[in-house]
Amino acid sequence: MSSKTSILSAIKGLHMEEKPLPEIPDFAIAEDLVATYTAALSGNKGSVVTKEELEQLLDETNFGKIYSASPTFSSYTTCDLPSHPAGFADLDLAIIEGQFASAENGAIWLDESNLDLRALPFITAHLVIVIKKENIVGNMHQAYELIGSSSSGFGVFIAGPSKTADIEQSLVVGAHGAMSLKVVIL
């Protein structure tokens, strides 16, 4: 008898009592989703700005190369979409639209429909994501329910600028991706 057969026979011989699956609790959801989202994103080293604050920042700062996949801020685009991600190696600012956000942890869901190029949120020096207020949900349980109906082949949650704390236990923001994340809630 093989060891696999022996192990499976021993397991079948245990005759253990079947136990019901645990009940999934009803997780509390904050009443003020925007305030909860703003606090969570701040904890992730990102920030929420108004449309006017972003427009002022764009007008006053020389970002150089900007690409906007957001119709709201399309007039700020200063370059064309390249056919290969390497064409964005020197991209200073990307502006994209998120589908929905989770207030509990500040994460925003993006899939291929939001990204003209999959590498866009990762290759840019600075990132702005635009989200509609009504698309902020309370927690990740609700967010995953929304993803369940999606038919995209690629998707990602983004919850702040890139960061790492593995170098001498010091937090480094912008270590291997966008150095900053600003979120505009419309």
Average pLDDT score over the chain: 89
pLDDT digits (tens, 9 = 90+) for 152-181: 678 899 998 887 777 677 777 777 778 899
Residue 57, by phi and psi: left (phi above 0), alpha (psi -120 to 50) or beta?
alpha
Only one residue has tokens 């902020």, namely: 136
CB 179 within 8 A of CB 173: yes
What pTM value is reported for the model? Answer: 0.82
CB atoms within 10 A of CB 174: 16
Q: Set out the domains of the chain in order of their start, with CATH numbers.
A: 29-185 (3.40.50.10420)
**CB within 8 A of 172, min separation 6: which ones?**
163, 164, 165
Q: Which of 40, 41, 33, 34 is nearest to 181 (CA)?
A: 41
pLDDT digits (tens, 9 = 90+) for 75-130: 999 999 998 988 899 999 999 999 999 999 999 999 888 888 888 999 999 999 99
Q: Has residue 150 got a pLDDT over 80?
A: no
Mean pLDDT of the 13-42 span: 88
Q: Has residue 66 got a pLDDT over 80?
A: yes
